Amino acid sequence: MLGILSLTEKNEGLAGGKYREYDLQQDLGLVVTALEETLDSIGVHESLSSYYNGK
């Protein structure tokens, strides 16, 4: 599956440094549905539990 994440590189100068920010390009519910089989095997973090019904 392509295009799940977008990447933005930030440079805040010497004090802030250089870092990357990642954002989902797809709806979180759709991503969780696509990974359902994997999540059934390994479990799901509590922060995703509202997007995942489990079996």
Residue 44 falls inside a structural domain: yes
Residue 46 falls inside a structural domain: yes
pLDDT score for 55: 53
Which regions of 1-55 does DSSP assign to beta strands (E)?
A: 5-11, 18-24
Residue 13 falls inside a structural domain: no
**Spatial distance between the Cα atoms of 4 and 23, rounded to a whole number of angstroms:** 8
Q: Which domain holds residue 54?
A: 26-55
pLDDT-derived band of residue 8, with 50, 70 and 90 as boundaries?
Answer: very high
pLDDT score for 49: 79
pLDDT score for 54: 65
HSE (side-chain half, CA atoms, 13 Å) at 26 = 13
pTM of the model as a whole? 0.54
Residue 54 falls inside a structural domain: yes
Which residues make Cβ contacts (< 8 Å) with residue 34, sequence separation at least 6? 1
For 10-50, how does the pLDDT look when each residue is reduced to its tens digit (9 = 90+)?
A: 998 888 889 999 999 988 888 888 888 888 888 888 887 78
Work out how many domains the chain is built from and give that number: 1
Residue 20 falls inside a structural domain: no
Residue 53 falls inside a structural domain: yes
Residue 37 falls inside a structural domain: yes
pLDDT score for 44: 82
Residue 51 falls inside a structural domain: yes
